[in-house]
């Protein structure tokens, strides 16, 4: 029976016909303007549709024959073309199957022992075909039947109301927070504190930056100022000049949790601080990330830029090997990442408190 479904699908070509009968599937601007989700009957009549349309016909074929199936939507957030694909899976007894027609390269019926294995295979193939760097985020949603006739943007809205799947292996980073800190919201950036008029908290946090702004960072417009003259607005401006567009919104994370054996200063600090970790590979977290800067080797801008690959590979021993507890700025020898979140803060639900002596 499944083979018969495939014979029906083989009568459908990939594309989308506009009101004039022109195939506009390859023209992103026209596609966004003219596309609407075809019903199975329309698709069978036109004999041409994109993967979103073809999946709805597949859904009907499986549902009408009472075969359990699910539909998924995968897309790559590259900030530009947003490449995507919709596909259907089904399971019989203890086997899972990827039923693929519109993606010609992988057309056919593919068997797997479990659904995670299936989804990871589809995702890996999709990444190979579409990703331009390791920094591209890929999301997979399980979604229910949409309304026929909806636009391209409405279709995206519909699938993103579905279940966002967590398929990535965790990659944890750590942040230290004062035990007295109010964590009801989460970790706040300086820009968030300023925008929400949390000036007492802002002033406490920026004290460590003032000397760097007027002396160490060599920002011409601030080199002749005294630390006490700096306004809050100038501090934010200096952070954005020195650290880039999101400088005042960055929140900093270490690759591994600080530990007492690093030295007396760290041990004393950990008496007053809690440690929280975040999984930057969590798809839920990635949807809240606006930017990540991976820093410079030994946190020194004169050294090589780091990337995600460094943090994936570095061992805990290597990471702490150059730490010097006697340095005035002892954290300067620890490489760290800077994350700017969509709303200016890291939500507490994405953080997990860990034992200081873990």
3-state secondary structure of 278: strand
Judge if 176 and 312 occupy the same domain.
yes
If one counts the domains in the chain, the total is 2
Judge if 204 and 308 occupy the same domain.
yes
Reading the block at residue 288, the tokens are: 């809240």
Judge if 220 and 270 occupy the same domain.
yes
Judge if 150 and 184 occupy the same domain.
no
Q: What sign results for the dihedral spanned by CA atoms 4, 10, 15, 18?
A: negative
Judge if 182 and 158 occupy the same domain.
no
For the chain, 358 residues long, give each residue's pLDDT as a single digit of tens.
898 999 999 999 999 988 777 888 766 567 778 899 999 999 999 999 999 999 999 999 999 999 999 999 999 987 677 899 999 999 999 999 999 999 999 999 999 999 999 999 999 999 999 877 777 899 999 999 999 999 999 999 999 999 999 999 999 999 999 999 999 999 999 999 999 999 999 999 999 899 889 988 889 999 889 999 999 999 999 999 998 999 999 999 999 999 999 999 999 999 999 999 999 999 999 999 999 999 988 766 667 889 999 999 999 999 999 898 888 778 878 999 999 999 999 999 999 999 876 5
pTM for the model stands at 0.89
Judge if 159 and 249 occupy the same domain.
no
Strand order in the sheet with 289-293: 289-293, 336-341, 250-254, 172-178, 273-279, 352-354
Domain containing 120 equals 2-164
Judge if 153 and 217 occupy the same domain.
no
């Amino acid at each position: 029976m499944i083979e018969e479904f495939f014979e029906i699908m083989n009568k459908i070509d990939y594309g989308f016909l506009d009101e004039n009968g022109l195939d506009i599937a390859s023209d992103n601007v026209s596609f966004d303007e003219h596309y609407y989700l075809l019903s199975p009957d329309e698709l069978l009549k036109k004999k041409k549709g994109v993967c979103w349309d073809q999946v709805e016909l597949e859904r009907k074929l499986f549902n009408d024959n009472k075969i359990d199936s699910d539909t998924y939507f995968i897309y790559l957030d590259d900030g530009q073309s947003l490449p995507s694909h919709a596909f259907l899976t089904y399971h019989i007894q203890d086997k899972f199957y990827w039923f693929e027609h519109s993606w010609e390269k992988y057309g056919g019926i593919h068997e797997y022992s479990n659904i995670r294995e299936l989804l990871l295979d589809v995702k890996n193939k999709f990444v190979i075909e579409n990703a331009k760097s390791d920094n591209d985020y890929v999301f997979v949603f399980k979604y229910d039947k949409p309304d026929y006739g909806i636009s391209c943007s409405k279709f995206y809205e519909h699938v993103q109301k579905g279940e966002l799947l967590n398929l990535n292996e965790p990659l944890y980073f750590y942040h230290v927070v004062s035990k007295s800190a109010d964590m009801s919201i989460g970790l706040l950036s300086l820009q968030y504190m300023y925008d929400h008029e949390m000036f007492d908290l802002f002033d406490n946090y920026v004290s460590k930056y003032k000397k760097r702004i007027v002396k160490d960072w060599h920002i011409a417009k601030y080199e002749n100022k005294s630390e006490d003259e700096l306004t809050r607005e100038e501090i934010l401006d200096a952070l954005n000049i020195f650290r880039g567009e999101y400088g005042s919104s960055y929140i900093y994370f270490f690759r591994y949790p600080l530990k007492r054996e690093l030295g007396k200063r760290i041990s004393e600090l950990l008496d007053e601080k809690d440690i929280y970790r975040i999984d930057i590979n969590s798809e839920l977290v990635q949807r809240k990330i606006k930017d990540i800067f991976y820093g410079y080797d030994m946190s020194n801008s004169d050294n090589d830029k780091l990337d995600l690959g460094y943090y994936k590979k570095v061992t805990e021993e290597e990471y702490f090997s150059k730490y010097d507890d006697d340095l005035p700025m002892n954290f300067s020898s620890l490489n760290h990442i800077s994350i700017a979140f969509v709303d200016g803060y890291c939500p507490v639900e994405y953080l997990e408190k860990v034992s200081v002596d873990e």
